């Protein structure tokens, strides 16, 4: 916990962190508000959008797009430590390399908690106001979507952290992270049979927040094979551990 | 005198460059140990290795007779190359982070900031500091855990003369408290003015090591002259404490054996009824001595 406290001291007055969090909250609210105006089949989605319990899936699916933002934030925080040479100073002052990685992992956890709590508050707010069904089961029945979102956010951020630790330069690390997650892995996915590619990291993380109505879509087109969120959670946690370990070995094998 | 730091055959290789080559030195308790060498001689690499941020290619070292660990780090305060802080945080908040990492009470922060003369600027952000202030803040951070050993890498680099004098004064003040100080520098007069022991490095290899008085302060030259030069040259060979003498136009350069000084020359000349018109001591320039050490074949 001391590690998290040290990290909080670093970021409380770091404007970049607050700006990125503010962007996340405001754009998320904007999308949430605007999406009720989306028309499907000539009918405005309107307040249907906010109906519980499906709202939890919609929220987490929308939120999944913002993981990129969180990932970039984590890359900035990790590469800053190289730029300011504070990583090296912290080792001189007594932290181990494992603690350096854990500290950033805790930051990822804290950001994921923040995101999850935000979704919880928004879900309850919009759900209780607009949802016709506000029974106990409607509110809590599918709330597990939030926990999958939490794992997904942590997964994205630990991958971003790994990119930061390996590449060290913020611009380069951000570009590599985006290219890997949006271009390289999707291409690999195309080349591999579905039974294999469903275990690739981005696909596993994506499976945690499936698109609402995906099952409907699958009936119309050729279904893309994905793990169910519950099944994807296990490999996702495995990847999180793996990314942390790889970050640790990167630090261990290198001069700081 | 117990060894604070014991380095054995430490080497670091970067590709084809041997940055540090089989370095073995011992730093005794209470000494001010200087690592002297030109830029690129392996001083920072050596300190980086013993401070756990650079992986040695081979060799080993111990602090206080133990391998490096969190416990040994707690007993050492160090700044390597540059002051490393978060530029957007105030001096005070940066120190808070260092205090948390070192597990020190934040109440100590004000005292060390006062010691380095930054107590009035502690709410200024680090990026707003001058180089001298940054350097002093780094020394304050190194002192925060009241370490037994202080490791300073080029602490006066980039400072103006006033800043250099301040930092040197600070080092001597800290050393007077009985702390061991390891100081890397490419400045000869800094090492000579501040240190008790010195290791001279060149291209990563140890060229000379020992107390500063024996390594750097080679024998002083004494210059004498008198109206009657011939008389001086007649007396000089008879004096047992004169090691060498070189006559040159109207002066003679002398070097004396250990334990003798210009007063002995004066006395002997007076006894021989020679009145000297000039008697002066000239210290051999440090640069000249340094080049001599470096030029010696290893």
Q: What CATH number should be reported for the domain holding residue B75?
A: 3.40.50.300
Are B126 and B156 in a shared domain? yes
- B225-270: per-residue pLDDT in tens? 888 888 888 888 888 888 878 888 888 888 887 778 888 888 888 8
Domain end call among B169, B199, B215:
B215
CA B263 to chain centre: 30
What letter would DSSP give residue A47?
A: G
Q: Name chain B contacts of A82, Cβ cutoff 8 Å.
A: none
Domain assignment present for residue B110? The answer is: yes
Rounded mean pLDDT, B179-186: 93
Peptide bond preceding A53 in cis form (omega within 30 of 0): yes
CA B214 remoteness from chain centre: 14
Looking at beta carbons, which residues of chain B come within 8 Å of A106?
Answer: none
Together in a domain, B256 and B170: no
Q: Which of A51-65, B19-33, B281-295 is the most confident on average? A: B19-33
Residue A63: predicted pLDDT: 92
Predicted complex ipTM: 0.89
Q: Which two tokens stand for residue B37?
A: 């060498």
Residue with the bigger pLDDT between A50 and A250: it is A250
Residue B287, domain member (yes or no)? no
Residues A66-87 pLDDT 10s = 999 999 999 999 999 999 999 9
% of chain A beyond a pLDDT of 70: 92
Question: Would you call B73 and A92 a contact, using CB atoms and an 8 Å cutoff?
Answer: yes
Q: CA-nearest residue of chain B to A15?
A: B88
Residues in chain A: 256
What are the residues facing A203 on neighbouring strands?
none
- A/B interface, count of CB pairs below 8 Å: 67
Q: Does A84 touch chain B (CB under 8 A)?
A: yes
Task: Let me know whether B73 and B39 are in one domain.
Answer: yes
A254 touches chain B (CB under 8 A): yes
Interface of B with A (CB under 8 A): 48, 51-55, 70, 73-74, 78, 80-82, 84-89, 93, 96-98, 100-103, 141
Could you tell me the two tokens for A116?
Answer: 């999850």
CB A103 within 8 A of CB A4: yes
| pLDDT (0 to 100) of residue A219 | 67
Tell me the H-state helices in chain A.
2-11, 15-34, 54-64, 67-83, 86-93, 97-130, 136-140, 144-167, 170-179, 185-191, 194-197, 201-207, 214-220, 229-253
Output the CA torsion sign for A217, A220, A225, A228. positive
Q: Which two tokens stand for residue B260?
A: 């003798």
Q: Residue B187 falls within a domain, yes or no?
A: yes
Give contacts of A84 with chain B, Cβ < 8 Å: 84-87
Q: Which helix (H) or strand (E) is A120 found in, with range?
A: helix A97-130
Q: CA A145 to CA A165: how far, in whole Å?
A: 30
| Residues in chain B within 8 Å Cβ distance of A79 | none
Better pLDDT: B217 or B239: B239
Q: Residue B189's pLDDT is what?
A: 83
* DSSP-derived secondary structure letter, B126: G
- pLDDT of res. B253: 85
Of A9, A92, A254, the CB nearest to B96: A9
Instruction: State the average pLDDT for chain B.
Output: 88
Flag whether B295 is in a domain. no
How many domains does the structure of chain B reveal?
A: 2
In a domain, B290, yes or no: no
Q: Are residues B268 and B189 in the same domain?
A: no
Residue B294 above 80 pLDDT?
no
Chain B contact set for A90 (CB, 8 A): 101
Report helix, strand or coil for B237.
helix
Give how far Cα B199 sits from Cα of A156, B138, B186, B210, Å: 50, 24, 12, 7
Domain boundary among B176, B198, B215: B215
Q: What percentage of residues in chain A have a pLDDT greater than 90?
A: 64
């Amino acid at each position: 916990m001391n590690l998290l406290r040290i990290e909080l001291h670093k970021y409380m007055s770091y404007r970049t962190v607050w700006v990125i969090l503010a962007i996340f909250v405001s754009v998320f609210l904007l999308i949430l508000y605007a999406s009720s105006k989306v028309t499907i089949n000539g009918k405005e989605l309107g307040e249907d959008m906010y109906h519980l319990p499906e709202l939890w899936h919609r929220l987490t699916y929308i939120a999944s797009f913002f993981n990129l933002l969180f990932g970039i934030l984590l890359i900035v925080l990790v590469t800053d430590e190289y730029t300011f040479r504070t990583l090296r100073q912290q080792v001189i002052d007594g932290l181990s390399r494992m603690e350096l990685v854990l500290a950033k992992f805790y930051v990822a956890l804290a950001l994921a908690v923040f995101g999850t709590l935000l979704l919880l508050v928004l879900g309850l707010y919009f759900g209780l106001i607009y949802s016709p069904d506000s029974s106990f089961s409607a509110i809590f029945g599918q709330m597990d979507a939030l926990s999958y979102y939490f794992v997904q956010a942590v997964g994205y951020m630990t991958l971003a952290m790994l990119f930061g630790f390996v590449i060290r330069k913020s611009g380069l690390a951000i570009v590599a992270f985006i290219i890997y997650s949006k271009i390289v892995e999707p291409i690999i996915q195309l080349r591999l049979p579905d039974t294999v590619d469903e275990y690739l990291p981005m696909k596993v993380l994506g499976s945690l927040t499936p698109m609402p109505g995906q099952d409907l879509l699958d009936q119309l087109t050729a279904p893309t094979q994905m793990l169910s969120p519950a099944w994807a959670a296990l490999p996702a946690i495995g990847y999180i551990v793996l990314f942390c370990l790889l970050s640790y070995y990167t630090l261990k094998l290198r001069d700081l | 005198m117990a060894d604070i730091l014991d380095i054995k055959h430490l080497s670091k290789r970067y590709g084809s460059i041997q940055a540090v080559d089989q370095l073995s030195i011992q730093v005794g308790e209470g000494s001010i140990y200087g690592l002297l060498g030109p830029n690129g001689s392996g001083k920072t690499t050596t300190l980086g290795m013993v401070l756990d941020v650079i992986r040695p290619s081979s060799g080993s070292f111990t602090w206080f007779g133990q391998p490096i660990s969190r416990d040994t780090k707690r007993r050492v305060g160090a700044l390597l190359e540059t002051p490393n802080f978060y530029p957007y945080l105030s001096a005070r908040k940066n120190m808070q982070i260092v205090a948390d990492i070192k597990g020190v009470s934040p109440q100590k922060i004000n005292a060390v900031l006062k010691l380095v003369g930054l107590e009035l600027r502690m709410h200024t952000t680090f990026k707003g500091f001058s180089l001298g202030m940054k350097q002093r803040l780094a020394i304050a951070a190194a002192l925060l855990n009241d370490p037994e050993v202080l490791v300073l890498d080029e602490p006066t680099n980039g400072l103006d003369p006033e800043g250099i004098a301040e930092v040197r004064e600070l080092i001597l003040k800290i050393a007077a408290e009985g702390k061991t100080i390891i100081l890397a520098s490419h400045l000869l007069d800094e090492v000579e003015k501040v240190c008790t022991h010195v290791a001279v490095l060149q291209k990563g290899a140890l060229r000379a090591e020992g107390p500063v008085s024996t390594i750097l302060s080679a024998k002083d030259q004494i210059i004498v002259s008198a109206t009657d030069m011939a008389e001086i040259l007649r007396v000089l060979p008879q004096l047992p404490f004169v090691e060498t003498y070189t006559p040159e136009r109207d002066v003679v350069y002398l070097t004396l054996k250990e334990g003798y000084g210009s007063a002995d020359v004066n006395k002997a000349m007076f006894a021989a009824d020679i009145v000297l018109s000039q008697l002066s001591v000239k210290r051999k320039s440090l640069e000249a001595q340094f080049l001599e050490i470096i030029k010696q074949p290893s």
